[in-house]
Amino acid sequence: ASLQNHHNVTLRMLAWEEHARRGLHFFSWSEGFVCTGRDTTPPEGWLEDVLDRSRFSFTTTEVDGVTVHHTEGVEASLVASDQPDAVGYIRMAFHHGPLVAIDLEAVGTAGEKDKAFVHHLAMSMLPPILPRLVDVEARWSPEGWPEDTPLPDACMEGMDRLLDAWQGLTLNEGMLGGRLKAEVLTNLEHGLVMNDGWLDGSDMDRIIETLTSLGGTEDEAVFAAAMLVARMDVGGGIIDTRGELLERDEGALLVTKGASLNAIMGALWTEHHEDGLVGLGVEGDDLEAILASVDGRPKSFGAFLRGLDDARAAARREARFPHRRGRLNGPLGITHDLVLTGLLDGGGRAQKAACDRHDDVEAAAAAWAWLLAADRNTGQEWHFEPVARDRGGAWSTAARSLIEAGSALLDNDDDEHRDAFTTALAELAATMGVNAP
């Protein structure tokens, strides 16, 4: 078969396999077939022929006496000086001197039926053992990574494992570039990774600029940036395209390529929404009130952030009162909160809350007291047992006084009206038989 196919670069070597097993080396190319004995140095012209017959288009450049064969997407000077770049490349250093570099974008164009370059190379020599004549390494660092800082060992080791799989033909060549970059990005030890780029996390403006490129408003970008920085302060993690956070104690914070601004905000909302609000300049009583009003993750972050101005205004109105909603316990707290809800959010919302299921008779009585005081009791009797209505009726006059004092305080934000509200609340507490706050 070898003699019959002597014109075939690969098949002509079949007759010499036994000799190769005994330590001899053979090189086959379009212009010849040579045995170099135990010397692994290929004959002149062999490498150039192999490159010409590959699916890649190479340019040959001399750099300080070193021959560099490289594809269009990589600079020969970088290959010669062994420096990474933002595109990335496979660097092959042949033991007899020449360098071959294939940029990762070109590597990624391989189809499922395309023969891997290393297979093409190995099938032009016998035995087909590439490490005897060439060292294969990958060079890539994300945009933004400091030029004078080497990648962590875990990044280099991960790329080496992938190259071993590629040379062993267990990793498709078309997937190699993406896998190499992913291996680097997931093994970086600190900082923020987005869109195959790296940020050290100290420059908020750069983070906001990067997030803005994902779409959304400036407020959304600022909100997300503040949460990302807060997350980096406590640990790394991976934010996926579904808006979920895979936590990890060490490593960079990685935003999966393709993740939207909404996905980022959703992944970090639970633990860091307060940091996001602070990043937007919300603080003090405004912050406290907005946090108190937040009930789970917003369905629309855009709507939530657009409503912050209204929320701040509402927070300032609620801040006029001595106690915020949710701070007082028992029946006094229930009536107090219904009074504030009616004054701040409208009687309809307060009425709905008052008619919800109650834990006990006292809670029902406190709600009924507000319904009577606000003249919203008509048709609502069926929600309440007679004993609750009787007890609530006894409290309703004091509850009405609290509503009137609260309405006056909203119109006149001063100490006199605040004291009047406090007095009315104490009178309601006395009527209910509980301690005044």
In order along its 437 residues, the chain shows pLDDT tens digits of 444 555 566 676 776 788 878 889 999 888 888 899 999 999 999 999 999 999 999 999 999 999 999 999 999 999 999 999 889 999 999 999 999 999 999 999 887 777 889 988 988 888 988 999 999 999 999 999 998 899 999 999 999 999 999 998 889 999 999 999 999 999 999 999 998 899 999 899 999 999 999 888 889 999 999 999 999 998 889 999 999 999 887 889 999 999 999 999 999 999 999 999 999 888 887 788 788 778 788 888 888 888 887 777 777 788 889 998 889 999 999 999 999 999 999 999 999 999 999 999 999 999 999 999 999 999 999 999 999 999 999 999 999 999 999 999 999 989 999 999 999 999 999 999 999 99
DSSP class of residue 298 equals: -
Q: Which of 56, 128, 72, 59 is nearest to 99 (CA)?
A: 59
- Let me know: does 322 contact 309? Beta carbons within 8 Å: no
- Threshold 0.75, pTM exceeds: no
Q: Which of 304, 341, 335 is nearest to 428 (CA)?
A: 335
Contacts of 184 by beta carbon, 8 Å cutoff, 6+ apart: 140, 141, 142, 151, 155, 158, 159
In the block, tokens 């196919």 appear at 5
Would you call 280 helix, strand, or coil by DSSP?
coil
Percentage of the chain beyond pLDDT 90 is 70
Token reading at 68:
């560099």
> Cα–Cα distance between 74 and 97 in angstroms, integer?
19
Largest CA distance in the chain: 113
Task: Tell me the domain boundaries of the chain.
Answer: 38-187, 188-319, 322-432
Q: Which of 169, 180, 69, 56 is nearest to 119 (CA)?
A: 169
392 to 115, 265, 356: CA distances (angstroms): 84, 45, 16
Q: Give the residues across from 275 on adjacent strands.
A: none
Token reading at 210:
């990067």
- Let me know: does 170 contact 162? Beta carbons within 8 Å: no
Contacts of 21 by beta carbon, 8 Å cutoff, 6+ apart: 127
C-alpha torsion 81→83→85→91, nearest 10: 80
> Cα–Cα distance between 136 and 11 in angstroms, integer?
26
- Let me know: does 27 contact 96? Beta carbons within 8 Å: no
- Let me know: does 391 contact 362? Beta carbons within 8 Å: yes
Token reading at 425:
């609340």
DSSP class of residue 362 equals: H
Cis peptide preceding 127, ω within 30 of 0:
yes
Q: What pLDDT, in 10s, does the model give residues 100-127?
A: 999 999 999 887 777 889 988 988 888 9
Helical pair 386-411 and 330-345, crossing angle rounded to 10 deg: 50
Q: Which of 375, 291, 283 is nearest to 326 (CA)?
A: 291
> Cα–Cα distance between 277 and 290 in angstroms, integer?
9
Q: What pLDDT, in 10s, does the model give residues 247-257?
A: 887 889 999 99
For 35-64, give the DSSP string: EEET--PPPTTHHHHHHHTSSS--EEEEET
In the block, tokens 């590629």 appear at 166
